[in-house]
Amino acid sequence: MPAEAATSTDTTEKFNGARIILKALQEQGVEVVFGYPGGAVLPIYDELFKQNSIRHVLVRHEQGAVHAAEGYARSTGKVGCVLVTSGPGATNVVTGLTDALMDSIPIVCITGQVPTHLIGYDAFQEADTLGITRPCTKHNYLVKDVDKLASVVHEAFYVARTGRPGPVVIDLPKDVAMAMGTYTTSPRGTKRQQHKTYRPKTKPDAAAIEQAVKLMAGAKRPLFYTGGGVINAGPKASALLRELVEVTGFPITSTLMGLGAFPASDDHWLGMVGMHGTYESNLSMHGCDVMINIGARFDDRVTGNLKLFSPNSKKIHVDIDPSSINKNVIVDVPIVGDCALALEEMLALWKSRRLKADQNALKSWWRHIEEWRGRDSLRYAQRGKIIKPQYAIQRLFELTKDRDAYISTEVGQHQMWAAQFYRFEQPNRWLTSGGLGTMGYGLPAAIGAQIAHPKALVVDIAGEASILMNIQELSTAVQHRANVKVFIINNQYMGMVRQWQELLHGGRYSSSYTESLPDFVKLAEAFGCVGLRVSDPAKVDDTIKEMISIKQPVVCDVVVDQKENCFPMIPSGKAHNDMILGPEDKAGKAISGAGLALV
């Protein structure tokens, strides 16, 4: 094994497994671990107690630990680290792990396990963690030999952050955590080969880049369609993307996951694409002749009806994961590689050849786009005494935009409004559950981001239904002085469920109205946070300012219009050029039976 040649093993000194874990985490640069103790991880917690270099953030539910680690990872670009016990501890992380897998977030999760000799005997708090987490992790390990523990931890970090990032589980039986063994340092040297065979391709094929650039130069109606891959490729990728858009003059749209990679204030920005994307970006997707997909995966929320998706375009697709290419949409120029490297090479080639797309065609393309933009598809009317949810979020944006804030969300209408109305300038500021759509994600993710950036403003834009799914984490926020602001868009409905019931199920609001909601102000106070409430549009600004000024976790209950729907919307089974623009537009755009079956 070549990796072993570069490692050094100090055979003289022995440590217990728990100590080895912590040494390895330290060597991997871990500063914070989000976790919850229990019988099977007591030895590790004991070692945590004896040291000061790694901070442990005690959550109130293991799901919250993973989401917090995701928030930490997304806002820093580092690997998030989780420590939970066996059995229920491990089963409770499954949602978080699946979330991280779907959104390609690097996480290393250490789960305790019953002692080796009890595995398979239905011991107390035993679960087949390896089996349960196999489909929801990028990779997982069961460590039975304490001498291999350190190298497994190093390998886990390498796997989590390399290629398409994702969650990795290390299942550690209690007896291994207590056994004495030797510590192995992380492999170093030029190659840093930390797994004996796993080497994802990062360098794009030069011929494919050449083909892509040629296609771009010949484009008449080009469009950049970017995704979370650009964020995952690091800040450099975002900088390169900005430059490439600048020199080409092409319009750009992005998926939900990719928001922030390109500044929303730039003229080339068309807004988000997809089911609740802007009119101009969806029509551009439909009408473009060359689509340059950088780090997005043609998700069904983006493409709508695949048969009608962007019918006349040549498609370039850059993705680090070969399985993302030609999965949903067959593309003309597949490029397997890291987005930053691909962007760099595209940019270099574009500049060195002094390429230029047909400027007249491009101008005419932009004229079309400006016309679509003129429809102002995100417009809404704030009148009367009831707060429109869009207004609340827009005011939040206006009053926080100079603070370089981190925004997390839960899942539903408020999430889409946040994506539409909170305009991001920088990558890593937007934390949302895109792939899995996990309600309850936002609060723990915000806490994770706040732990990583103690001085920054971190706001969880929430819905009153989602926030109740992980409300217990307010206690975590208070204990760890993570002064997050929870901005609840409260319409008393599971808004997106209600919207679909209105549009698809004849207005039969089956179980989407939440009766007996708690008083969020009192709830906040019970947790030791500050609670605020606003229901008057005229007081929204003052309430937001007050929320920001409080140096404590705040829950701000914004009582909004119960009937507001999220538009524009591409109904299920429809194409990008068949959008519902607003409530007055939905007549005559009935959703077909086939569309009804889609989610």
Nearer to other proteins among residue 309 and residue 527 (C-beta):
309
Residue closer to other proteins (CB basis): 305 or 377: 305
- The catalytic residue among 28, 34, 62, 413 is 62
The H-or-E segment that residue 596 falls in is helix 593-596
Written as six digits, the tokens of 111 are 């789960």
The answer to whether 359 is a known catalytic residue is no
Cβ 322 to other proteins, closest distance in Å? 4
User: How are beta strands 15-16 and 180-181 bridged, if at all?
Assistant: antiparallel
Nearer CB in complex with other proteins: 247/306: 306
Of 78, 174, 315, 388, which one is the catalytic site residue?
Answer: 174
Task: Tell me the two tokens of residue 199.
Answer: 């080497």
Q: Please confirm, yes or no, whether 62 is among the known catalytic residues.
A: yes
Q: Which is nearer to other proteins, 125 or 328 (CB)?
A: 328
Angle (nearest 5°) at CA 103 between 466 and 249 = 110
Instruction: Find out whether 277 and 255 touch, Cβ atoms under 8 Å.
Output: no
Nearer to other proteins, 134 or 403 (CB): 134
Closest distance to other proteins from the beta carbon of 94 (Å) = 14
Provide, rounded to whole angstroms, the least separation between the CB of residue 566 and other proteins: 31
Query: If we measure between CA atoms, which residue out of 407, 387, 388, 408 comes closest to residue 399?
Result: 407
Please confirm, yes or no, whether 4 is among the known catalytic residues: no
Gap between the Cα atoms of 476 and 65, Å rounded = 10
List all residues 6 or more positions away from 68 whose beta carbon is below 8 Å from its beta carbon: 34, 57, 59, 80, 444, 445, 447, 448, 451, 473, 476
Set 496, 547, 569, 579: catalytic member: 496
Strands (DSSP E) contained in 146-234 are: 167-173, 180-181, 222-226
Minimum CB–partner distance for residue 332 and other proteins (Å): 7
- Pick the closest to residue 61 from 476, 560, 428, 580 (CA basis): 476
Name the residue nearer to other proteins (CB basis): 324 or 490. Answer: 324
Taking every pair of Cα atoms in the chain, the longest distance, rounded to a whole number of angstroms, is 78
Which residue is listed with tokens 């005559």?
588
Q: Which is nearer to other proteins, 325 or 467 (CB)?
A: 325
Using a 10 angstrom Cβ sphere, with 0-12 exposed, 13-18 middle and 19 or more buried, the burial of residue 207 is exposed
Q: Known catalytic residue: 515?
A: no
Q: Is 485 a catalytic residue?
A: no
Q: Rounded to the nearest 10 degrees, how much is the dihedral formed by the CA atoms of 95, 101, 107, 112? A: 50
- Nearest approach in angstroms of CB 135 to other proteins is 5
Question: Which residues contact other proteins (rule: CB under 8 A)?
Answer: 130-131, 134-135, 138-139, 142, 159, 164, 195-201, 203, 205, 321-323, 325-327, 330, 332, 334, 336
Q: Which stretches within 374-494 are classed as H helix?
A: 389-400, 413-421, 442-452, 464-467, 473-479
Q: Which of 586, 592, 580 is nearest to 276 (CA)?
A: 580
Q: In whole angstroms, how close is the CB of 93 to other proteins at the nearest point?
A: 18
Q: Which is nearer to other proteins, 252 or 335 (CB)?
A: 335
**Among 4, 26, 51, 124, which one carries the catalytic annotation?**
124
DSSP annotation string for 294-336: ES----HHHHSSGGGSSTT-EEEEEES-GGGTTSSS--SEEEE
DSSP state of 137: S
Rounded Cα gap, residues 472 and 468, in angstroms: 8
Minimum gap (Å) between residue 157 Cβ and other proteins: 13
Instruction: For the CB of residue 418, give the shortest distance to other proteins in the complex, in Å.
Output: 31
Catalytic residues: 62, 124-125, 174, 496
